[in-house]
Structure 1
Amino acid sequence: MKRVLIFDSGVGGLSIYQEIYRQLPQVQYVYAFDDAAFPYGELPDSELIERTSHIVTRLVERHQVDLVVIACNTASTIVLPSLREQLSIPVVGVVPAIKPAALASKRKAIGLLATPATITRQYTDILISQFANDCEVLRIGSTRLVEMAEEKLRGKPVSITELREILSAWQGKVDCIVLGCTHFPLIKEEVLLAVGEKVQVIDSGMAIANRVKALLGDVVVHQQVFSNFTYNSAAGENAAALNISLEQLGLSAIESLNYPRSLVR
């Protein structure tokens, strides 16, 4: 049986998990999130590398994982070289879907919706220069949307009015929006309601799923029932509500790794 570990600072990576699961339901999944240090965009690079390496290598060994997905844009740009040196298995990262958005945009006007850290990072400038130099790319960095996605999975409704206010600067100016944070596809339907039907909303989930499928190769279909696993780094609030959503997605209730924020700092 093939096993895939999906790692993020929060529940945003569940959007990536869902896309991979649609293509590979016969794979066993381990989902882990470092909520003790959430959000990752506020961490120094050295701490982010230390935390990610510790949690990922520990779970790879525990579950004999075949492939790792770092389902966080911030972590992907910082920790992949270090992790790939430590592990002998493939490690897949995520980047904002600038290229497909540039190809899809008819007006050549794109909105990049991401975290404040992602919209200011050099790798984002490089992606835009390489793949969207013929487009106007407007950027909004929002931590609030991350919170909305987390709240939604814990049973709280998403305010369309608040979303409209956050995205109001793009009204009538873009025809394509890139969801540049893995949390944001979790509220994709709400974003579409907020911006209207004439705007296309794109994320990187399908591309990551295709990459994982190609790297895993042939996957044997097993008849026996098996469990998927969920881990976090510290006990969080509203775990019971989140566990309901996790169960609906085919994942287990959360097990804590007891890796608090203060361990590194």
Structure 2
Amino acid sequence: MKRVLIFDSGVGGLSVYQEIYTQLPSLQYIYAFDDAGFPYGELPEAVLIERTRHIVSLLVERHYIDLVVIACNTASTVVLPTLRAELSIPVVGVVPAIKPAALISKQKAVGLLATPATVERDYTNQLISQFASDCEVYRIGSTRLVEMAEEKLRGQTVSLDELAGILAPWRGKVDSIVLGCTHFPLIKAEIAQAFGAPVQIVDSGLAIANRVKSLLGEVEFGEQSGLRCNFTYSSAADPHTAALNHSLEALKLGAVQSLNYPSF
């Protein structure tokens, strides 16, 4: 049975996991999140690289992983070269879906919704220059939306009024929105409702799932699901809520376990 490790700073990578699982339900999945270092958008690059390298290497060795997905836009922009140099297996990253958003925008006005770090990255500027040079690209960098997605998975209600306030500068300006953080698809319905105007919302989840499928090649679909155990790991020592474990169970993932590694 092939094994895939999906890594993020928090629960945002679950949106990528869902897309991959839909296409490849017979794999074994290990989901790990570094909530002790959350949010990654506020960490120095050197710290981000070391934390990611440490956790991913630990779990690749423990579970004999076949492929790693760094399901975090912020981490993907800085850690992929390090991981690919150290690991002998494929490492897939995520990037904001700027190209498809630009293609579907009739007004040629795109909103990029991401973390403060991602909206300012040189890599993001390169994507805009390469794929959206004919568009006006508006940017909002928000850590609060990341927190909202985390809260939703822990059973809390997302405030539509607060969301509407964050999105207010774009109203009447954009007709497509890029969800440039893997947390944001978890509150996609709330974002659409709070925006209050017709808008097309895109993310990179499906593209990542297609990439994973192409890299793993043929997968045996006849395996009995009862033989598969999917794991979830957290770096934080704090107990996790029953609501989060319930959400994980609904996604066919196991309850959160501690990674038990020395803190940085």
The TM tier, using the shorter chain, reads over 0.9
Q: Does residue 33 of structure 1 match 2:63?
A: no
Matched residue, 2:128:
128
Does the CA contact (< 8 Å) of 1:234 and 1:259 recur in 2? no
Matched residue, 2:100:
100
Structure 2 residue matching 1:32: 3-state secondary structure? strand
1-side partners of 2:55 and 2:253: how far apart?
Answer: 18
Deviation at 1:5, TM superposition (A): 0.2
Does the CA contact (< 8 Å) of 2:26 and 2:225 recur in 1? no
Q: 2:256 aligns with which of 254, 257, 262?
A: 254
Deviation at 1:240, TM superposition (A): 1.9
Structure 2 residue matching 1:194: 3-state secondary structure? helix
Matches within 5 A, 1:228-243: 228-236=230-238, 238-243=240-245
Larger displacement relative to structure 2 (198-207 or 233-242): 233-242
Deviation at 1:224, TM superposition (A): 5.0
* Structure 2 spans left out of the alignment, 5+ residues: none
Deviation at 1:49, TM superposition (A): 1.1
Amino acid paired to 1:2: K
Deviation at 1:237, TM superposition (A): 5.1
Deviation at 1:48, TM superposition (A): 1.0
TM-score by length of 2: 0.97
Matched residue, 2:178:
178
Amino acid paired to 1:74: T
TM-score by length of 1: 0.96
Aligned alpha-carbon RMSD (Å)? 1.1
Amino acid paired to 1:172: G
Percentage of identical aligned residues: 73
Does the CA contact (< 8 Å) of 1:233 and 1:257 recur in 2? yes
Matched residue, 2:196:
196
Does the CA contact (< 8 Å) of 1:36 and 1:259 recur in 2? no
* Structure 1 spans left out of the alignment, 5+ residues: none
Amino acid paired to 2:54: H
Deviation at 1:152, TM superposition (A): 0.2
Matches within 5 A, 1:74-153: 74-153=74-153
Q: Does residue 8 of structure 1 match 2:8?
A: yes
Matched residue, 1:223:
224
Does the CA contact (< 8 Å) of 2:72 and 2:182 recur in 1? yes
Structure 1 residue matching 2:36: 3-state secondary structure? helix
Deviation at 1:258, TM superposition (A): 2.6
Amino acid paired to 2:97: A
1-side partners of 2:135 and 2:41: how far apart?
Answer: 26
